[in-house]
Amino acid sequence: MLSKEMQGALNAQITREFHASYLYLAMSAYCETKSFEGFAKWLQLQSQEEWEHGMRLYKHILDRGGTVVLDAIEAPPSEFGTPLEVFEKVLAHEQKVTKLIDELYAKAAEEKDYATQIELQWFVTEQVEEEKNAEHIIALLKMVDAREAALLVLDKHLGKRSEG
């Protein structure tokens, strides 16, 4: 059985995951508008992943006999700057999410809620991957140094991402 406090904290994280999904979808639309189809595809898949993260927590709450309470999702911006700035924003967002996941994990540990700790372990591992991916793309974009031809090659490379 989830404590009321843990349930509230997990519900808040569902909203944050859906907000991340919405944010990355807005970034994807922005990139597509700028004709960066590869970046757009990568971000759209990332948006889908974030939705799935929210649904993992949604399922966890229901499986534990809790109540899912969905909140309003904050509207994302529609302008994100250069491709480098887009991915710097992705990294900054993921770093913020990592901190929130760590706080949730600490709360679950404090409450000796082992089932939630095990569920959150997946998120802790996922955040390592998410930050690494964003850092890698930023490093590549910095090498590109805004030369358009190289940007197009990188855009094609990201466009090869498959599901998951």
- Name the site residues for ligand FEO (rule: CB under 6 A): 17, 20, 50, 53, 94, 97, 130
* Residue 38 Cβ vs ligand FEO, minimum distance, rounded to whole Å: 19
- Provide the CB-side half-sphere exposure for 97 (13 A, CA): 29
Nearer CB in complex with ligand FEO: 114/122: 122
- Take residue 10 and report the two structure tokens written for it: 């997990």
* Residue 125 Cβ vs ligand FEO, minimum distance, rounded to whole Å: 11
* Residue 71 Cβ vs ligand FEO, minimum distance, rounded to whole Å: 16
Nearer CB in complex with ligand FEO: 10/144: 10
Nearer CB in complex with ligand FEO: 90/151: 90
* Residue 19 Cβ vs ligand FEO, minimum distance, rounded to whole Å: 10
- Take residue 163 and report the two structure tokens written for it: 């599901």
- Listed in order, strand segments (DSSP E) in 65-144 are none
Closest to 141 measured CA to CA, from 130, 152, 132: 152
Closest to 96 measured CA to CA, from 4, 39, 23, 28: 23
Closest residue to ligand FEO using C-beta atoms: 53
CA distance 131 to 93: 9
Phi and psi at residue 71, to the nearest 5°: -110, 175
